[in-house]
Structure 1
């Protein structure tokens, strides 16, 4: 698809530049946004002050109920501006509980559409064990929910999605990404630190995005829709995902095919081109403007 005219692109509202609260509101039907356990409830991390870190009143997680296309929905949005979107005991519990409540509704026949807005480096190191435990709860809730209703994940940028939360994103029924987004188990800085700069130079932004950026993830089937950084495009991709319904087989259930493809990749020479050649586009692709 040809690039948008410059004037049109400038007039489009960026999704990446919105805060987590604004992103959640942008995906819900106008006027339906209702926040649960918001800043005025002041449910903060009890562990950060012990380490001299100033808390945030919502612990970096926004939980909103409302509607999408008139259907009940819950949006869990992670705020990257607080501790890099890291998941601690409180923020993770808010997300897990919201998904578990949606599951309870679905089991009673009241369908609630779940959306998770990932913007996280993974577990909060200051709350490591507690964060890991609650990430496991989030993953479990996603797996249980997706039997009733599609679970839609969105990775917009610029932090991306890493660590245990990258596994949560992979468990979603559908995953929407922008070109600016990144998705990986380990972040570039961690890879460089642990394996050396010969393995990956984290300052080589072009290389990083070629390997784990939104376009590469969409072209290799690890994301279902690639969209421009525009509120309207992200909103439309989320709507399209729910319109697809529950997929016949989720990505995580097709592990045998994935392992077979991984066996064709030489770990000593992983290139973006080789990954694109081996990993065909996902059959679960959701229509996106640039997909």
Structure 2
């Protein structure tokens, strides 16, 4: 007889997978119950003017959901990217929605009304069909994060299987705090791009175990490049986001610690360093401990 009985299964049955939720459902799950209010939703029909010219069917929200509501009773805005549309890529409209939402939150904060911002990343980066416009608006998102994080923590969530890459990985890095699942991935270039450009000798994109060792959520948290490792459970991710806001604005953001990271990079032997050694070296940046040298 199986030992996996109803009592054992109960905790798992009560969980709701965050990864399996749509962007709209993710935003709703992060906000206090009954407070979700979508801005520029599908019925506003603000779509990309460029995709139809290339024979691509638009999505009514252009793959970005912007929702206002509250988190722990405090005003909040959630920007959630939909991976099911064009791989979560950022175009002129979707990127402008995110940048504008962050700008409005900044204006509210400057007037003394704090708005808690959350960005749910699920994106390969810029939408190639709108390359220049997409790159420009990603830069606007990055600038908006830097301006906003002076007033309130900007919290990023990377949970799903698409991960966060390209210019949007820089936007994620600029966030005050990052919540990741073990399934999530964060990197400047995706594995397929690295293999294509540098060859399979550099990285085998089919070696899933190796990829998650290098850029998976567990590794990113262990190396201090993300802050909270959560299971794929909507409730747990919501609690991690709440904790991230409760911690307040840090005296020094991760991206401001330039000298610290340059010193750590100087210790890296790129030919021989292992994921485990990266944890020892970069994990020390988060704890303030003095790392052992890893160059050989």
Alignment TM class, shorter chain as reference: over 0.9
Partners of 1:114 and 1:11 in 2: CA distance: 27
Output aligned runs, 1:234-273, within 5 Å: 234-273=237-276
Output aligned runs, 1:121-270, within 5 Å: 121-270=124-273
Partners of 2:140 and 2:273 in 1: CA distance: 33
Report how far residue 282 of structure 1 moved: 5.4
* Cα shift readout 1:61-85 (whole Å, capped 9, x = no counterpart): 0000000011000000000000000
Partners of 2:285 and 2:182 in 1: CA distance: 17
Gaps of 5+ in 1: 286-291
Do the aligned residues in 1 keep the contact of 2:218 with 2:229 (CA within 8 Å)? yes
Report how far residue 8 of structure 1 moved: 1.6
1:74 paired residue number: 77
- Secondary structure of 1:80's aligned partner: coil
Partners of 2:268 and 2:74 in 1: CA distance: 43
Aligned residues between the structures = 282
Matched, 1:64 2:60: no
Do the aligned residues in 2 keep the contact of 1:49 with 1:55 (CA within 8 Å)? yes
Deviates most, 6-15 or 135-144: 6-15
Do the aligned residues in 2 keep the contact of 1:15 with 1:23 (CA within 8 Å)? yes
Do the aligned residues in 2 keep the contact of 1:219 with 1:281 (CA within 8 Å)? no
* Cα shift readout 1:238-260 (whole Å, capped 9, x = no counterpart): 00000000011100000111111
- Secondary structure of 1:65's aligned partner: strand
Partners of 2:58 and 2:81 in 1: CA distance: 15
Report how far residue 263 of structure 1 moved: 1.1
Partners of 1:234 and 1:119 in 2: CA distance: 15
Deviates most, 275-284 or 24-33: 275-284
Query: Bigger radius of gyration, 1 or 2?
Result: 2
Report how far residue 10 of structure 1 moved: 3.6
TM-score (ref. length: structure 1): 0.95
**Alignment partner for residue 88 of structure 2, among 85, 89, 93?**
85
Do the aligned residues in 2 keep the contact of 1:224 with 1:284 (CA within 8 Å)? no
TM-score (ref. length: structure 2): 0.93
Do the aligned residues in 2 keep the contact of 1:63 with 1:76 (CA within 8 Å)? yes
1:27 paired residue number: 30
Gaps of 5+ in 2: 1-6, 289-296
Output aligned runs, 1:17-56, within 5 Å: 17-56=20-59
Report how far residue 20 of structure 1 moved: 0.2
Do the aligned residues in 1 keep the contact of 2:91 with 2:126 (CA within 8 Å)? yes
Do the aligned residues in 2 keep the contact of 1:218 with 1:281 (CA within 8 Å)? no
Do the aligned residues in 1 keep the contact of 2:180 with 2:229 (CA within 8 Å)? yes
Provide the aligned C-alpha RMSD in A: 1.4
Report how far residue 277 of structure 1 moved: 1.7
Partners of 2:84 and 2:13 in 1: CA distance: 24
Partners of 2:240 and 2:287 in 1: CA distance: 13
